[in-house]
Amino acid sequence: MEFRILANTSAAAPAASGPEGSRRDFMFLATGAGLAVGAAAAAWPLVSSMAPDAETIAAGAPIEVDLTPIQDGQIVNVFWRGKLIFVRKLTDKELTDMKAVPLSAMIDPAAFTTRVKNGHDQWLVVYGNCTHLGCVPIGHQGNFEGWACPCHGSQFDAVGRVRHGPAPINLPIPPYAFQTDTKIRIGEGGKEAA
């Protein structure tokens, strides 16, 4: 039997310095970057699935209405967010008559100035459904030069104020703003008013 003495291997090998250390650091950084890119790539479909689709965005997007072709007394129907909107150009007679109506003669009192935009008195923009049960009132009908609901008999004046029930409130005003004197944008530019 032969015994050999082996060298003491308990001492640690000297630390790699130089190219080995920089290679290891590079591998850690590359691995971390790869994991970050992979996590972002995996999360992207999840995040994008939470965003509304194009049809939903379009359904609530503001719309622009060109007022140029609308004649005095004419009512134009447009749709925003699936709801009917009346855009009406008031005649000089309607302007004079509507400004003179006393608040005591109304079911839901509202001054003329609260129904139109300052400086654009001849333009009325209102939702086109009766505030009683949602029927569509007919323009230039009834006793008040405005709209009359064929279903239950409600009547509104030329600026959408309810003058004869059963409708309890005026035709609501959607949010809108004048972009120019001949163009409005429905869906932005102010709070909704009643």
> Per-residue pLDDT for the chain (194 aa), expressed as one digit of tens each?
566 655 555 555 555 555 566 888 888 888 989 998 988 888 888 877 777 666 666 567 888 999 999 999 999 999 988 899 999 999 999 999 999 999 998 899 999 999 999 999 999 999 999 898 888 998 988 888 899 998 888 999 999 999 988 999 999 999 999 999 999 999 876 544 43
Among 138, 178, 173, smallest CA distance to 154 is for 138
Residue 189 tokens, joined: 């530019």
Q: Quick one: pLDDT at residue 193?
A: 43
User: What is the length of the chain?
Assistant: 194
Identify the bridge partners of residue 126 per DSSP, sorted by sequence position: 86
CB contact set of 5 (below 8 Å; sequence gap of 6+): none
- Nearest-angstrom CA–CA distance, 155 and 72: 21
Alpha helices, H only, the chain:
19-49, 54-60, 92-100
Nearest one of 190, 159, 11 to 95, comparing CA atoms: 159
- Helix, strand, coil percent content, the chain, rounded in steps of 5: 25, 25, 50
Question: Could you give phi then psi for residue 47, rounded to 5 degrees?
Answer: -65, -45
Q: What is the pLDDT of residue 1?
A: 58
- Could you count the other beta carbons within 10 Å of the beta carbon of residue 87? 20
Among 85, 87, 81, 111, residue whose Cα is nearest residue 98 = 111
d(CA 127, CA 79): 9
Structure tokens belonging to residue 187: 């869906």
Q: Mind telling me the catalytic residues?
A: 152
**Cα atoms in the 13 Å half-sphere on the side-chain side of 19:** 0
